[in-house]
Amino acid sequence: MEILHFYRNNVGVHDPLFVRALVIADATGKSVALVTGDFLGAGCDEIRTRVREKTGVDEVWFSASHTHSGRWLVSTPTPGRLYTDELEWDELTEKGPIAERPEELQWNNGVHQAIDEIVAEAQRHMVPVDLRAGRAAAQVGFNRRLAAADGSIYMGVNRDGPVVPWVNVLSAHARDTGKPIAIYFEHAAHPVTVPHGSNLVSADFPGAAVRRIRKHLGDDVIALFGQGCNGDINSFPLRSTHADADAVGHKLGEAVLQAMEQSNVLKSTKLKLKTVVTELPTRPLPPLELVESLLRDNRGDARRLKQLGKIKTILLRGGTPPSRRFEVHGVMIGEEWCLVGLNYELFAQIELWVAKVAPFRWTMVNSLTNGGRAYLGDDEALALGPKGGYEAGSLPSWSGHETMSPSLGSPAVGCEAIVKKAIVELWS
C-alpha cells in the first residue's frame, strides 16, 4: 500500500496507527465523542453523520494527528463516482483514486468500521468522572517559515518564529478510585521526525508520547493526541530517524504527565457544543495573460496544466475560484474549559490568540478537525502573494501548496478576520 507524505510504498510497521475515542456526557445526557486518528488527514462528514446515527451521541469530532508516515482517511466512494470532495484531492496521488485500488479501499473501509466500534465501546464503558485541565511547558519543534533576502518564504528551522510553547491536557479520573482513565492532549507540530524515506508506518512523535504516558499510568489508560495549530511548525529534528521520533514523543509524554500533576478539577458540569460554518474566499485568480504564459512554460507537466486549464475556464467566463467551507467547533465546559476545533491547518499564531482572548480559564485548540484538506495562513502570510511560501504562496510561484488544491489558490487576504470572528461566535 501507499503511505504518505511523501508518497512511498509501505512494507511494514514501526509502530501501529490507532483510532481512539473519548465520549463525554453531562448530567443532562448531552454527549460528544472525541475521536482521534493517526492519519495525515481525513474527510469527516460521513464519519460524523454515521457515528451520530449509530450511537446517538449529539456530536462527533474527528481529529487527525497529521502523521506523515500513515495515510489519508477518505470517505467511502459512492457507486459510479470516483471522487468525493476529499477524493478530488486524491486525484493528485501517485496511484489514482482509491475506488480503483481494492487493497487500499479495504483498509479504508476497515478504519471506518473501527471508528464506529470504538465509539460504541467507549459508550459502553462510561463511568462517572472528574475532569481535570492542565498545561505544562513543551516544545517539540520550531517554526518552519524563514524569509530570504527578497522576502520570499522558504521552509527551514526558524528558532525565533512563533510556536505554541505548551501542551494542553484534559484528563478524566474515575470518581470512585481517582484513577485517570482517559487523557486528551494537544500540542502543535507537524509529526515529521520519522524520515520520509522510511517504508514503515508510524504515528511519529504523537504515538511515542502516548506510549510514554501509558508506560507511567498503565495500559488501561486511553491517551488521545489532538494536533494543535501546526501549520507553520515542524517537529525537530526533521526527517531524521524512528529513534529520534521516539525520543521527541517521550519528551512530550513527560510534559503531559507534568501537566496532569499541576492540573485543576473542573467544577462546572455543563457541556455545551457549538459549530459555526462560514465561507472563506479564495484570492483573485492570476490575470489571463499570466495564465497563458504559464500554460506555455509548463507543457509536459500534466498536473499543472490541469490546474491552469481550470483557472483559464473560470477566467474566460468571468467567474471566481471556489471558496472554502470553514468550520469551527467548540466543546465548552461551563466557563472553565473550551476546546476549539478547526477544519484546516492553521498557524500557531491563531492558537496563541485563542489562549489570550478566550473567556475560559483553560483552552485547547485542534486544527485538522472535522476536515483538514489544506493550509490556512494568516493575513500576513497571505499578503505575500507569490512570495508566501509553501503554506500561503500563489502563482506564478508553484511553491504554494494551495495552487494545486480544488480551490486553485490560497485563501484571500482578509480570511484571518473571518476565522477569528467565527471562533468568537462560539463563545457568544
**Shortest distance, CB of residue 70 to Zn ion, whole angstroms?**
13
Nearer to Zn ion, 46 or 232 (CB): 232
**Shortest distance, CB of residue 78 to Zn ion, whole angstroms?**
27
Nearer to Zn ion, 345 or 416 (CB): 345
Nearer to Zn ion, 89 or 362 (CB): 89
CA distance 16 to 184: 19
Show the cell assigned to 227: 494536533
In b/e form, how buried is each residue of 320-350, taking b as 16+ CB within 10 angstroms?
ebbebebbbbbbbbbebbbbbbbbbbbbbbb
Nearer to Zn ion, 180 or 372 (CB): 372
Nearer to Zn ion, 18 or 390 (CB): 390
- Region from 160-168, 250-258, 341-349, 352-360 binding Zn ion, contact rule CB under 5 A: 341-349
Show the cell assigned to 301: 507537466
Contact 380, 336 (CB under 8 A): no
Q: Tell the residue number behind the cell numbers 467507549, with chain if given.
A: 122
- Region from 19-27, 154-162, 343-351, 420-428 binding Zn ion, contact rule CB under 5 A: 343-351
Number of residues in contact with Zn ion under rule CB under 5 A:
1
Is the bond leading into 396 cis (omega within 30 degrees of zero)? yes
Is the bond leading into 284 cis (omega within 30 degrees of zero)? no
The three-class DSSP label of residue 83 is coil
* Nearest residue to 231 (alpha-carbon basis) of 323, 352, 360, 322: 352
Nearer to Zn ion, 248 or 331 (CB): 248
80: amino acid identity, one letter: G
Per-residue contact string for residues 347-386; x = within reach of Zn ion by CB under 5 A = ----------------------------------------
- Region from 180-188, 200-208, 319-327, 339-347 binding Zn ion, contact rule CB under 5 A: 339-347
Distance of CA 289 to the CA centre of its chain: 37
The three-class DSSP label of residue 120 is helix
- Region from 237-245, 267-275, 344-352, 409-417 binding Zn ion, contact rule CB under 5 A: 344-352
The residue count of the chain comes to: 428
Show the cell assigned to 403: 495552487
| Residue number with the smallest Cβ distance to Zn ion | 345
CA distance 302 to 308: 10
**Shortest distance, CB of residue 8 to Zn ion, whole angstroms?**
17
**Shortest distance, CB of residue 359 to Zn ion, whole angstroms?**
30
Nearer to Zn ion, 332 or 374 (CB): 374
**Shortest distance, CB of residue 161 to Zn ion, whole angstroms?**
16
Nearer to Zn ion, 4 or 129 (CB): 4
**Shortest distance, CB of residue 40 to Zn ion, whole angstroms?**
8
- Longest pairwise C-alpha distance within the chain: 71
**Shortest distance, CB of residue 190 to Zn ion, whole angstroms?**
5
**Shortest distance, CB of residue 377 to Zn ion, whole angstroms?**
12
Query: Which residues of this protein are in contact with Zn ion, per CB under 5 A?
Result: 345
